[in-house]
Amino acid sequence: MSNLDTLESELLTAIENAGSESALEDVRVAALGKKGSISEQMKTLGKMTAEERQVMGPALNGLKAKITTAIAARKDVLADAALEARLASETVDVTLPMRPSPTDTGRIHPVSQVIDELTAIFADMGFSIAEGPDIETDELNFTALNFPEGHPAREMHDTFFFNEKEDGERLLLRTHTSPVQIRTMRTEEPPIRVIIPGRTYRCDSDQTHTPMFHQVEGLVIDKESHLGHLKWILEEFCKAFFEVDDIKMRLRPSFFPFTAPSMEIDIQCDRSGGEVKIGQGDDWLEILGCGMVHPNVIRNCGLDPDVYQGFAWGMGIDRIAMLKYGMPDLRAFFDADVRWIQHYGFRPLDLPTLFGGLSS
Ligand code: DAH
């Protein structure tokens, strides 16, 4: 057996015996690396006579090719075996239940849902959304809205005041969303059509009152809008929101400093079965206050009440949410009890739309 034959059979045995990809790599380096046995043999070609080289050249190249092929083949076998071993050890039980994703377990709070619902309804009628800060000045919360200093209507708002500042100004937590009417009229050119959802605060707590609650205000200001338009808008809103074909409404005279005339609106309901059903029966339920914006308020915003007119309304969001979804106690809205939100909450991807259905 020639030297080359011996080398070949030694290398083939080593390749066959390599038990892992890294052991095989060692064999490759030992044969074909810079100082490998085949490479060393190659280097001797230069010193050979032409005749010797004619024989040894092809023989060495043949050996190199054979070993390279053998290593590649062994590598495939080892990679397959490694994969088999991994598959055997890392079993996956495809029958196990999947871990639910946050979009399955998370819930949207009914107040957020109802804000989305009423936004969808009013946006469809051409309203945009306006917002203002929770901490307000006395001027915007009261004075500009035509509550004169010392007027008893101020007392009815059970206001949370901050401590007086050095300059004597006393900020407060807004008691209603109406100050955003002023902010809007002072910054936007009529025609104005906005709804203003947001948090409001009053020092009050029982089954249907919490110190923080939500209102949505509506404001329309232009040159000709009147109570007929207001009635139509609120009727359409109530039908869409309570998802009923028809609803009877009753307008009762009332008083708000910032509207004249002022009204409260009741909607038809049925209380006979222990729960309140909207759009049937012959009982009434108050749901909002409204009226034509008082000329003083329009003037306080720098607009001429002989040119501009319009109407506004204010509605409790929590209250209409309780009515629509049958939630008896308002305080539970803000208890952060996960069982409550799992029961009354909405699935995150079921966004309310007019075409898809508000609450389906
Ligand atoms: N701001 C009133 C409240 O909190 C609600 C209200 C009544 C708002 C009549 C209005 C309105 O815009 O016109 O009791």
DSSP string, 140-191: HHTGGGT--TT-HHHHTT---BPPPPTTS---EE-SSSTHHHHHHHHHSPSS
Let me know if residue 43 belongs to a domain: yes
Same domain for 26 and 149, yes or no, is no
Same domain for 124 and 7, yes or no, is no
Mutation test residue for ligand 1: of 194, 256, 258, the one with most atoms within 8 Å of CB:
256
Highest mean pLDDT among 50-64, 120-134, 138-152, 205-219: 120-134
Same domain for 283 and 147, yes or no, is yes
CB of 204 within 8 A of CB of 194? no
Let me know if residue 227 belongs to a domain: yes
CB of 312 sitting under 6 A from ligand 1: yes
Q: In angstroms, how far is CA 319 from the centroid of its own chain?
A: 23
Same domain for 218 and 326, yes or no, is yes
Same domain for 41 and 113, yes or no, is no
Overall domain count for the chain: 2
Q: CATH number of the domain that 280 lies in?
A: 3.30.930.10
Atom of ligand 1 nearest to the CA of 215: 4
Q: What is the pTM of this model?
A: 0.73
CB of 141 sitting under 6 A from ligand 1: no
Let me know if residue 53 belongs to a domain: yes
Distance (Å, rounded) from C-alpha 102 to C-alpha 106? 5
- Expressed in angstroms and rounded, the spacing between residue 108 Cα and the centre of ligand 1 is 27
**Cα separation values, 94 from 51, 97, 193, Å:** 68, 8, 55
Let me know if residue 154 belongs to a domain: yes
CB of 257 sitting under 6 A from ligand 1: no
Domain that holds residue 232: 106-344
Q: Look at the block and give the residue holding tokens 């709804």.
A: 195
Query: Which one-letter amino acid corresponds to residue 293?
Result: V
Same domain for 12 and 81, yes or no, is yes
Return the pLDDT at 360.
65
* Nearest-CA residue for atom 12 of ligand 1: 313
- pLDDT, one tens digit per residue, over 169-200 is 999 999 999 999 999 999 999 999 999 999 99
Same domain for 24 and 169, yes or no, is no
- pLDDT, one tens digit per residue, over 283-314 is 898 999 999 999 999 999 999 999 999 999 99
Same domain for 40 and 171, yes or no, is no
